[in-house]
């Protein structure tokens, strides 16, 4: 299982369970048919910037930072507003042109948005190549990015 898919599953599991220890993640993921080690979970926790918050059942549970998605979307909007030049879609691909020096930042923010139908991004100095899982997904993502530009 790819890292992005595993982390998406971790988010889902956190919504369904009070997860208090890394071992709980390992057990739940193994129950879902995903073999992981505690070390992998530790890296995912750091990468996802998970925090511990008080649990209604007592103790503490893992949670996403409350503002993470909102902040990422705001950052992406701001960078697009400041640096966007053009964008085009073809089959599985979206090519976004930006002012020099902004391609990598835009690609990173798109990755952090964790769009489910995105296969991956490649960020250059002034260009971002976004690869979708299907041509229809590319069209949907193109529209999503266009909507971010209009707000």
Whole-number Å distance between alpha carbons of 107 and 127: 9
What phi and psi, each to the nearest 5 degrees, are found at residue 63? -155, 155
pLDDT given at position 54: 85
Sequence-distant (≥ 6) Cβ neighbours of residue 95 within 8 angstroms: 87, 88, 89, 127, 128, 129, 130
Residues of the chain with CATH 1.10.10.10: 3-63
CATH match of 3-63 with 1.10.10.10: yes
CATH match of 68-150 with 2.60.120.200: no
Mean pLDDT of 133-141: 96
Whole-model pTM: value is 0.57
pLDDT given at position 58: 84
145: closest CA among 104, 98, 94? 94
Residues of the chain with CATH 3.30.1360.40: 68-150
Q: Which two tokens stand for residue 40?
A: 């992998």
Whole-number Å distance between alpha carbons of 127 and 129: 7
Mean pLDDT score of the chain: 91
Give residue-wise pLDDT tens across range 42-99. 999 988 888 888 888 888 999 887 655 557 888 899 999 999 999 999 999 999 999 9
């Amino acid at each position: 299982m790819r890292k992005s898919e595993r982390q998406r599953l971790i988010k889902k599991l956190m919504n369904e369970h009070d997860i208090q220890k890394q071992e709980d993640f390992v057990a739940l993921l193994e129950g879902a048919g995903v073999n992981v080690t505690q070390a992998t979970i530790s890296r995912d926790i750091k990468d996802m910037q998970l925090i511990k918050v008080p649990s209604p059942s007592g103790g503490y549970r893992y949670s996403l930072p409350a503002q993470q998605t909102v902040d990422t979307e705001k950052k992406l909007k701001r960078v697009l507003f400041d640096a966007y030049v053009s964008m085009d879609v073809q089959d599985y691909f979206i090519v976004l042109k930006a002012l020099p020096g902004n391609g990598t930042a835009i690609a990173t923010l798109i990755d952090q948005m964790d769009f489910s139908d995105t296969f991956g991004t490649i960020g250059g100095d002034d260009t971002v190549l976004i690869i979708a899982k299907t041509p229809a997904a590319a069209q949907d993502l193109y529209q999503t990015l266009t909507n971010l530009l209009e707000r």
